[in-house]
Amino acid sequence: MKNQHLLITLTLLFFACGSDDTSVDDMDDDVSTEVPELFQRFTDNVSVSVDGDFIVIVTDDVPNHPSPYFETSNALYEAYNGNNSNFRLNPNRISSQNITFRIPLNPTEATNKEATALGAMGVSLNGVVFFNQYAGPNNQPLTSEIDSFDQYLGHPQQAGVYHYHQEPTYLTSTLGTNALIGWLLDGFPVYGPVEDGTRVNNSDLDDYHGHSHATTEYPNGIYHYHITDADPYINGNGFFGVAGTVSN
């Protein structure tokens, strides 16, 4: 009888331990690494994953539209055919990059707003990065640099990083002027220059070039940036939210 009681006790302990293990496994399964649907809208030159509290976006930064900044042997090469009579081709050419963004999965307003740095401050749905409203250090305006923007309002810098300072007209013409077109480094979305059928002006936005309300993609409401026709075009005096990181 003692041996029988011992066997029963050991059996119960075994199943109890097995039950605890299953509970831990179930908890692990609840940690989602699935990429939210919104972030599955990028073009094929972009890979997206979830790492804890961050969305990780890796892009080659090569635009999916024609440009005179491709080498002439490239199928996407197209001579300038825009409407800027002062256009001048800069000496740089588009080259493939490996740019990694880690942006907050659940963006929050920053207590102390951080200024945007020169270089990539966000990424559009075709993988092309957004730069801020300055042409160089000491807040140099884009005044003359605008004349080197191609027919889709982008151009490459010295290392071949193609980027938009202004409205990415290829995206707004194909997706819609009121569409979601990307995200900034703080995880807040960027929308086109039209909202509710009306073109957005700088006066409609705060110092960071955005405002908060519900959108199609965020029906519960969210802070979001808008493209406008006038400086600062995409972003104002810094990130509204807590910025993630970008590396190249």
What digits encode the pLDDT tens for the residues 37-93? 999 999 999 999 999 999 999 999 999 999 999 999 999 999 999 999 999 999 999
Q: E strands, the chain, where? A: 46-51, 54-59, 99-104, 122-124, 129-130, 134-136, 140-141, 154-156, 162-164, 180-184, 189-191, 194-195, 198-199, 210-213, 222-226, 245-247
Predicted pLDDT of residue 237: 87
CA atoms within 13 A of residue 130's CA, in its CB half-sphere: 32
pLDDT tens digits, 88-104:
999 999 999 999 999 99
Instruction: Name the nearest CA neighbour of 184 among 111, 137, 95, 115.
Output: 115
Predicted pLDDT of residue 33: 82
Residue 22: pLDDT band (50, 70, 90) is very low
Residue 31: pLDDT band (50, 70, 90) is low
Q: Which range (9-18, 51-60, 102-111, 149-158) has the least confidence?
A: 9-18
Residue 138: pLDDT band (50, 70, 90) is confident
Residue 28: pLDDT band (50, 70, 90) is very low
Q: Is 83 exposed, middle or buried (0-12, 13-18, 19+ CB in 10 A)?
A: exposed
The residue extents of the domains of the chain are 1-31, 37-247
Residue 32: pLDDT band (50, 70, 90) is low
pLDDT of residue 2 exceeding 90: no
pLDDT tens digits, 173-188:
999 999 999 999 999 9
pLDDT of residue 27 exceeding 70: no
* Contact assessment for residue 143 and residue 151, using Cβ atoms and an 8 Å cutoff: no
Q: Which residue did the predictor score with more confidence, 21 or 40?
A: 40
Predicted pLDDT of residue 92: 98
CA angle 81, 164, 86 (to 5 degrees): 40
d(CA 159, CA 97): 9
Stretch 102-116: mean pLDDT: 97
Entry pTM: 0.86
pLDDT tens digits, 202-246:
999 999 999 999 999 999 999 999 999 999 999 998 999 999 999
